[in-house]
Amino acid sequence: MATTTKNKKKKPTQACRADKHKLYEYSVQNVKGEIDFIDHTFRSLRKRNAKTLREDFCGTANTSCEWVRRRNGNHAICVDHDQAVLDWGRNNNLSRLTRAQKKRILLLNEDVMQIRNDPVDLVLAMNFSYWVFKDRSTMIKYFRNAYKGLKKDGVFFLDAFGGFEAFREMEERRDYGKFIYVWDQVSYNPIDGHGLFKIHYKFKDGSKLKDAFIYDWRVWTLPELIEMLAEAGFKSTIYWEGTGKDKEGNGVFTPATQGEADAGWVVYIVAEK
Ligand SMILES: C[S@@+](CC[C@H](N)C(=O)[O-])C[C@H]1O[C@@H](n2cnc3c(N)ncnc32)[C@H](O)[C@@H]1O
Protein backbone atom coordinates (compact mmCIF):
# COMPACT_ATOMS: atom_id res chain seq x y z
CA MET A 1 0.00 0.00 0.00
CA ALA A 2 1.30 3.47 -0.89
CA THR A 3 2.22 5.65 2.09
CA THR A 4 -0.26 8.47 2.49
CA THR A 5 0.76 11.91 3.75
CA LYS A 6 -1.30 11.13 6.83
CA ASN A 7 0.65 8.13 8.00
CA LYS A 8 4.08 9.34 6.82
CA LYS A 9 6.25 9.97 9.92
CA LYS A 10 7.21 13.65 10.25
CA LYS A 11 10.96 14.21 10.45
CA PRO A 12 11.84 16.00 13.71
CA THR A 13 12.87 19.61 13.12
CA GLN A 14 16.42 20.80 13.70
CA ALA A 15 15.16 22.69 16.77
CA CYS A 16 13.70 19.46 18.19
CA ARG A 17 17.00 17.66 17.68
CA ALA A 18 19.17 20.48 19.04
CA ASP A 19 20.79 20.47 22.47
CA LYS A 20 20.60 23.98 23.93
CA HIS A 21 23.69 23.54 26.12
CA LYS A 22 25.80 22.51 23.10
CA LEU A 23 24.51 25.53 21.19
CA TYR A 24 25.32 27.80 24.16
CA GLU A 25 28.86 26.49 24.57
CA TYR A 26 29.47 26.97 20.83
CA SER A 27 27.93 30.41 20.41
CA VAL A 28 28.55 32.12 23.76
CA GLN A 29 31.62 30.64 25.40
CA ASN A 30 35.28 30.72 24.47
CA VAL A 31 36.74 28.76 27.38
CA LYS A 32 40.25 28.42 25.93
CA GLY A 33 40.55 32.20 25.40
CA GLU A 34 39.03 32.90 28.81
CA ILE A 35 41.40 30.55 30.65
CA ASP A 36 44.36 31.98 28.67
CA PHE A 37 43.42 35.45 29.91
CA ILE A 38 42.83 34.39 33.53
CA ASP A 39 46.00 32.29 33.76
CA HIS A 40 48.20 34.94 32.15
CA THR A 41 46.72 37.82 34.20
CA PHE A 42 47.08 35.96 37.51
CA ARG A 43 50.70 35.09 36.67
CA SER A 44 51.58 38.68 35.78
CA LEU A 45 49.97 39.99 39.00
CA ARG A 46 51.21 37.35 41.45
CA LYS A 47 54.41 36.05 39.78
CA ARG A 48 53.28 32.45 40.21
CA ASN A 49 50.82 30.08 38.56
CA ALA A 50 47.31 29.81 39.96
CA LYS A 51 46.31 26.26 40.85
CA THR A 52 42.89 26.31 42.49
CA LEU A 53 39.75 27.82 41.01
CA ARG A 54 36.15 28.18 42.09
CA GLU A 55 33.75 28.69 39.19
CA ASP A 56 30.55 30.34 40.46
CA PHE A 57 27.41 30.01 38.25
CA CYS A 58 29.32 27.23 36.51
CA GLY A 59 26.44 25.91 34.38
CA THR A 60 27.90 23.00 32.39
CA ALA A 61 31.36 23.42 34.04
CA ASN A 62 32.92 23.89 30.62
CA THR A 63 35.37 26.54 31.86
CA SER A 64 36.48 24.42 34.84
CA CYS A 65 37.08 21.44 32.54
CA GLU A 66 39.42 23.64 30.52
CA TRP A 67 41.14 24.67 33.78
CA VAL A 68 41.87 21.10 34.93
CA ARG A 69 43.02 20.17 31.40
CA ARG A 70 45.40 23.12 31.31
CA ARG A 71 48.00 21.86 33.85
CA ASN A 72 48.49 18.81 36.03
CA GLY A 73 47.86 20.04 39.55
CA ASN A 74 45.06 22.48 38.60
CA HIS A 75 41.90 21.94 40.67
CA ALA A 76 38.36 23.30 40.20
CA ILE A 77 35.26 23.58 42.37
CA CYS A 78 32.15 24.25 40.26
CA VAL A 79 29.09 25.82 41.89
CA ASP A 80 25.57 25.97 40.46
CA HIS A 81 22.17 25.57 42.07
CA ASP A 82 20.60 23.77 39.10
CA GLN A 83 21.12 20.00 39.32
CA ALA A 84 19.95 19.47 35.72
CA VAL A 85 22.69 21.67 34.24
CA LEU A 86 25.32 20.08 36.52
CA ASP A 87 24.18 16.62 35.35
CA TRP A 88 24.53 17.76 31.73
CA GLY A 89 28.05 18.99 32.48
CA ARG A 90 28.97 15.71 34.15
CA ASN A 91 27.63 13.62 31.23
CA ASN A 92 28.95 15.76 28.40
CA ASN A 93 32.04 17.63 29.66
CA LEU A 94 33.50 15.82 32.66
CA SER A 95 32.98 12.54 30.82
CA ARG A 96 35.59 13.67 28.26
CA LEU A 97 38.28 14.30 30.90
CA THR A 98 40.92 11.71 31.74
CA ARG A 99 40.54 9.79 35.00
CA ALA A 100 43.29 11.91 36.59
CA GLN A 101 41.65 15.17 35.45
CA LYS A 102 38.25 14.06 36.81
CA LYS A 103 39.80 13.66 40.26
CA ARG A 104 40.68 17.36 40.22
CA ILE A 105 37.16 18.73 39.58
CA LEU A 106 34.22 18.85 41.96
CA LEU A 107 30.63 19.78 41.03
CA LEU A 108 28.55 21.26 43.85
CA ASN A 109 24.83 21.93 43.81
CA GLU A 110 24.92 25.00 46.01
CA ASP A 111 23.94 28.65 46.12
CA VAL A 112 26.94 30.91 45.36
CA MET A 113 25.80 33.07 48.26
CA GLN A 114 26.16 30.21 50.76
CA ILE A 115 29.13 28.25 49.39
CA ARG A 116 32.07 27.79 51.79
CA ASN A 117 35.36 26.37 50.47
CA ASP A 118 39.01 25.98 51.35
CA PRO A 119 40.56 29.21 50.04
CA VAL A 120 41.38 29.18 46.32
CA ASP A 121 43.58 31.27 44.01
CA LEU A 122 40.76 32.24 41.65
CA VAL A 123 37.02 32.80 41.85
CA LEU A 124 35.18 33.30 38.53
CA ALA A 125 31.75 34.82 37.84
CA MET A 126 31.46 34.86 34.06
CA ASN A 127 28.97 35.68 31.37
CA PHE A 128 27.37 38.29 33.61
CA SER A 129 25.64 35.62 35.71
CA TYR A 130 26.13 37.60 38.93
CA TRP A 131 23.76 40.27 37.56
CA VAL A 132 20.95 38.10 39.00
CA PHE A 133 21.68 40.04 42.19
CA LYS A 134 19.69 43.18 41.66
CA ASP A 135 20.39 45.43 44.62
CA ARG A 136 23.56 46.76 46.23
CA SER A 137 23.31 44.96 49.56
CA THR A 138 22.75 41.54 47.93
CA MET A 139 25.55 42.09 45.43
CA ILE A 140 27.97 43.21 48.16
CA LYS A 141 27.01 40.12 50.21
CA TYR A 142 27.89 37.95 47.19
CA PHE A 143 31.18 39.80 46.62
CA ARG A 144 32.04 39.30 50.33
CA ASN A 145 31.45 35.57 49.95
CA ALA A 146 33.77 35.50 46.92
CA TYR A 147 36.35 37.40 49.03
CA LYS A 148 36.08 34.82 51.83
CA GLY A 149 36.61 31.98 49.38
CA LEU A 150 39.96 33.38 48.16
CA LYS A 151 43.51 32.94 49.47
CA LYS A 152 45.32 36.05 50.79
CA ASP A 153 46.62 36.87 47.30
CA GLY A 154 43.61 35.45 45.44
CA VAL A 155 41.93 37.18 42.48
CA PHE A 156 38.24 37.40 41.57
CA PHE A 157 37.55 37.53 37.81
CA LEU A 158 34.22 38.83 36.49
CA ASP A 159 32.98 40.17 33.19
CA ALA A 160 30.55 42.97 32.41
CA PHE A 161 28.93 44.47 29.34
CA GLY A 162 27.74 47.97 28.58
CA GLY A 163 27.60 50.79 26.06
CA PHE A 164 24.55 52.75 25.00
CA GLU A 165 22.99 49.76 23.24
CA ALA A 166 22.93 47.82 26.53
CA PHE A 167 19.94 49.95 27.52
CA ARG A 168 18.00 49.48 24.27
CA GLU A 169 15.27 46.97 23.52
CA MET A 170 16.75 45.31 20.46
CA GLU A 171 17.95 42.03 18.94
CA GLU A 172 21.42 41.04 17.79
CA ARG A 173 21.94 38.04 15.48
CA ARG A 174 25.05 36.04 14.69
CA ASP A 175 25.09 33.44 11.92
CA TYR A 176 27.04 30.28 12.80
CA GLY A 177 26.22 28.48 9.53
CA LYS A 178 24.16 25.64 10.96
CA PHE A 179 22.17 28.00 13.19
CA ILE A 180 21.59 31.63 14.03
CA TYR A 181 22.15 32.88 17.57
CA VAL A 182 19.77 35.63 18.66
CA TRP A 183 20.52 37.86 21.68
CA ASP A 184 17.19 39.46 22.53
CA GLN A 185 17.15 42.50 24.82
CA VAL A 186 13.45 42.19 25.61
CA SER A 187 12.94 45.01 28.09
CA TYR A 188 14.80 47.53 30.20
CA ASN A 189 13.35 49.60 33.03
CA PRO A 190 15.37 52.81 33.50
CA ILE A 191 13.82 53.35 36.93
CA ASP A 192 15.15 50.22 38.64
CA GLY A 193 17.75 49.20 36.02
CA HIS A 194 16.21 45.75 35.55
CA GLY A 195 16.64 44.14 32.14
CA LEU A 196 15.12 41.01 30.64
CA PHE A 197 17.35 39.16 28.17
CA LYS A 198 16.76 36.00 26.15
CA ILE A 199 18.76 33.75 23.85
CA HIS A 200 16.94 32.08 20.94
CA TYR A 201 18.32 29.81 18.21
CA LYS A 202 17.01 29.62 14.62
CA PHE A 203 17.74 26.84 12.15
CA LYS A 204 18.03 26.38 8.37
CA ASP A 205 14.75 24.38 8.23
CA GLY A 206 12.88 27.38 9.69
CA SER A 207 12.48 25.82 13.14
CA LYS A 208 13.27 27.82 16.28
CA LEU A 209 14.39 27.17 19.82
CA LYS A 210 12.68 30.16 21.38
CA ASP A 211 13.60 31.27 24.91
CA ALA A 212 16.42 28.72 25.14
CA PHE A 213 17.83 30.84 27.98
CA ILE A 214 16.15 33.67 29.91
CA TYR A 215 18.01 36.12 32.14
CA ASP A 216 16.29 38.52 34.50
CA TRP A 217 19.10 40.85 35.53
CA ARG A 218 20.04 44.25 36.87
CA VAL A 219 22.08 46.09 34.23
CA TRP A 220 24.96 47.32 36.37
CA THR A 221 27.47 49.97 35.30
CA LEU A 222 31.22 49.70 35.84
CA PRO A 223 31.52 52.46 38.47
CA GLU A 224 28.75 50.80 40.50
CA LEU A 225 30.48 47.42 40.30
CA ILE A 226 33.91 48.85 41.18
CA GLU A 227 32.43 50.65 44.20
CA MET A 228 30.62 47.53 45.46
CA LEU A 229 33.75 45.41 44.97
CA ALA A 230 35.70 48.00 47.01
CA GLU A 231 33.10 47.76 49.80
CA ALA A 232 33.68 44.02 49.85
CA GLY A 233 37.47 44.60 50.14
CA PHE A 234 38.63 44.23 46.50
CA LYS A 235 40.91 46.47 44.44
CA SER A 236 39.54 46.32 40.89
CA THR A 237 41.10 46.95 37.50
CA ILE A 238 39.14 47.07 34.27
CA TYR A 239 40.66 45.19 31.33
CA TRP A 240 39.38 46.83 28.14
CA GLU A 241 39.42 45.09 24.76
CA GLY A 242 41.70 46.37 22.00
CA THR A 243 40.53 46.86 18.41
CA GLY A 244 41.78 45.30 15.19
CA LYS A 245 42.17 46.90 11.76
CA ASP A 246 38.46 46.28 11.15
CA LYS A 247 37.72 48.44 14.24
CA GLU A 248 36.13 45.39 15.89
CA GLY A 249 37.28 43.91 19.23
CA ASN A 250 40.48 41.86 18.83
CA GLY A 251 40.12 39.68 21.93
CA VAL A 252 43.13 41.30 23.65
CA PHE A 253 42.19 42.79 27.05
CA THR A 254 44.59 45.18 28.82
CA PRO A 255 44.33 47.31 31.99
CA ALA A 256 42.65 50.65 31.33
CA THR A 257 41.37 53.68 33.15
CA GLN A 258 39.82 55.29 30.06
CA GLY A 259 37.25 53.44 27.97
CA GLU A 260 35.39 54.46 24.83
CA ALA A 261 31.73 55.49 24.62
CA ASP A 262 31.02 52.64 22.20
CA ALA A 263 27.61 51.22 21.34
CA GLY A 264 28.50 47.91 22.99
CA TRP A 265 31.53 46.59 24.86
CA VAL A 266 32.48 43.66 27.09
CA VAL A 267 35.23 43.95 29.73
CA TYR A 268 36.90 41.82 32.35
CA ILE A 269 36.97 43.09 35.92
CA VAL A 270 40.02 41.81 37.76
CA ALA A 271 39.37 42.20 41.50
CA GLU A 272 42.39 41.59 43.74
CA LYS A 273 42.08 40.59 47.37
C1 LIG B 1 24.50 32.28 32.37
S2 LIG B 1 24.49 30.68 33.08
C3 LIG B 1 26.13 30.12 33.21
C4 LIG B 1 27.17 30.92 32.61
C5 LIG B 1 28.54 30.35 32.68
N6 LIG B 1 29.19 30.74 33.93
C7 LIG B 1 29.32 30.89 31.52
O8 LIG B 1 30.41 31.43 31.71
O9 LIG B 1 28.84 30.79 30.38
C10 LIG B 1 24.06 31.07 34.74
C11 LIG B 1 24.03 29.89 35.71
O12 LIG B 1 23.96 30.43 37.02
C13 LIG B 1 23.20 29.55 37.82
N14 LIG B 1 22.77 30.32 39.02
C15 LIG B 1 21.97 31.42 39.06
N16 LIG B 1 21.86 31.87 40.33
C17 LIG B 1 22.64 31.06 41.11
C18 LIG B 1 22.95 31.03 42.49
N19 LIG B 1 22.43 31.93 43.35
N20 LIG B 1 23.78 30.06 42.94
C21 LIG B 1 24.30 29.13 42.10
N22 LIG B 1 24.05 29.12 40.76
C23 LIG B 1 23.22 30.08 40.27
C24 LIG B 1 22.10 29.06 36.91
O25 LIG B 1 21.57 27.82 37.36
C26 LIG B 1 22.83 28.95 35.57
O27 LIG B 1 23.30 27.65 35.33
CATH number at residue 73: 3.40.50.150
| Same domain, residue pair 212 and 268 | no
Distance CA 224, CA 202 (A): 35
Average pLDDT, rounded, for the chain: 96
CB atoms within 10 A of CB 66: 22
Q: Are residues 231 and 150 in the same domain?
A: yes
Banded model confidence at residue 4, pLDDT cuts 50, 70, 90: low
- Let me know if residue 5 belongs to a domain: no
Which atom of ligand 1 lies closest to the CA of 111? 20
pLDDT of 258 > 60? The answer is yes
Confidence class for position 1, pLDDT limits 50, 70, 90: very low
Sign of the dihedral defined by the CA atoms of residues 74, 249, 22, 184, in that order: positive
Q: What is the pLDDT at residue 231? A: 98
Q: Identify whether 115 is part of a domain.
A: yes
12 domain-assigned: no
Smallest CA separation from ligand 1 atom 3, residue: 59
The H or E element that residue 249 is part of is strand 249-256
Q: Is 8 domain-assigned?
A: no
The answer to whether the CB of 198 is under 6 A from ligand 1 is no
Q: How many structural domains compose the chain?
A: 2
Residue 267 domain flag: yes
Same domain, 78 and 155: yes
pTM: 0.95
Task: For residue range 117-126, list pLDDT tens digits in order.
Answer: 999 999 999 9
Q: What are phi and psi of 43, to 5 degrees?
A: -65, -40
Q: Are residue 189 and residue 157 in the same domain, yes or no?
A: no
User: Is residue 10, in this structure, part of any structural domain at all?
Assistant: no
Q: For the chain, how are helix, strand and coil distributed in percent, rounded to 5?
A: 30, 35, 35
**Based on the domain organization, do 211 and 249 belong to the same domain?**
no
The pLDDT of 210-227, averaged and rounded, is 98
Q: Which of 200, 216, 232 is the last residue in one of the domains? A: 216
Which pLDDT band holds residue 241 (cuts at 50, 70, 90)?
very high
Q: Which ligand 1 atom minimizes the distance to the CA of 24? A: 9
| pLDDT at residue 247, as a whole number | 83
Same domain, yes or no: 58 and 127: yes
User: 212 and 249 share a domain?
Assistant: no
The single-letter DSSP state of residue 94 is: G
Ligand 1 centroid, distance to 48 Cα (angstroms): 29
Rg (CA), the chain: 20
The set of residues, in sequence order, having a beta carbon less than 8 Å from that of 183 and lying 6+ positions away, is 171, 172, 173, 174, 197, 199
- CA of 246 relative to ligand 1 center, distance in Å: 33
Same-domain pairing of 231 and 210: no
Domain span at 89: 17-161+221-272
Residues 82 and 171 in one domain: no
Exposure string over 228-250, b if 16+ CB within 10 A, otherwise e: bbeebebebbbbbbeeeeeeebe
Ligand 1: centre distance to CA 70 (Å): 23
Q: How far apart are CA 212 and CA 200, in angstroms?
A: 5
DSSP codes, 198-225:
EEEEEETTS-EEEEEEEEEEE---HHHH
- Confidence band, pLDDT 50/70/90 cuts, at residue 51: very high
Task: Verify whether ligand 1 is closer than 6 Å to residue 124 (CB atom).
Answer: no
Output the pLDDT for position 8.
Answer: 65
User: 52 lies in a domain?
Assistant: yes
Residues 132 and 185 in one domain: no
Does residue 244 sit in the same domain as residue 200?
no
- Tell me: pLDDT of 36 over 50: yes
29 and 132 fall within a common domain = yes
Domain end point (choices 175, 196, 216): 216
